[in-house]
Amino acid sequence: MSTYRYIAQRASQAPVRQLCHVLQVASSAYYAWQRQRNRALPEPAWQVAVREAFADHSQRYGTRQLRAEVQAQGHAVGRWRIRRVLKAHGLRAQQPRSFVPRTTDFDPAVRAAPNRLLS
């Protein structure tokens, strides 16, 4: 049995720091092992739904729209939780480009119209 597993089993009987000290293990190493072990758990269904909805809408939906979409699917989840999931996966909503009207040719020598206010 590994030392960390032993500490995890005895954590309800004695403080973790004390167990780590007795076994000459850094408590930070134990907590790092515990975090790594928790990461191996399967991803919750609501997180999968968030990422699928984000991908379905061309990575344009923000947390408000994603929350409405995921709640319509039956998952009770809030905006801040969705925000943490998106950040953890490195996803950001892409903002659409602003509309800039093109009224003239790009050639600087060509003018759109003469300025009649100056005459």
Residue 7 and residue 24 in one domain:
yes
Instruction: State the average pLDDT for the chain.
Output: 87
Residue 59 and residue 77 in one domain:
yes
Nearest to 91 by CA among 55, 40, 39: 55
Segment 2-11 shows an average pLDDT of 89
pLDDT tens, residue by residue, 69-110:
999 999 999 999 999 999 999 999 998 888 887 765 667 777
In a domain, 28, yes or no: yes
On the question of pLDDT at 40 being above 70, the answer is no
**pLDDT at res. 54:** 94
Lowest mean pLDDT among 40-49, 99-108, 110-119: 99-108
Query: Burial of 65 by CB count in 10 Å (0-12 exposed, 13-18 middle, 19+ buried)?
Result: middle
Compute the distance between CA of residue 25 and CA of residue 31 in angstroms, rounded to an integer. 11
In a domain, 80, yes or no: yes
In a domain, 60, yes or no: yes
Give the count of domains, the chain: 2
Residue 26: which pLDDT band, with cuts at 50, 70 and 90?
A: very high
Report the predicted TM-score, pTM, of the whole model to 2 decimal places: 0.52
Nearest to 54 by CA among 96, 88, 86: 86
Give residue 20's domain range: 3-39
Residue 30 and residue 55 in one domain:
no
Residue 1: which pLDDT band, with cuts at 50, 70 and 90?
A: low
Residue 9 and residue 30 in one domain:
yes
Instruction: For 73-109, give one letter per residue: b (16+ CB within 10 A) or e.
Output: eebebeeebbeebbeeeeeebeeeeeeeeeeeeeeee
Which amino acid, 71? Q
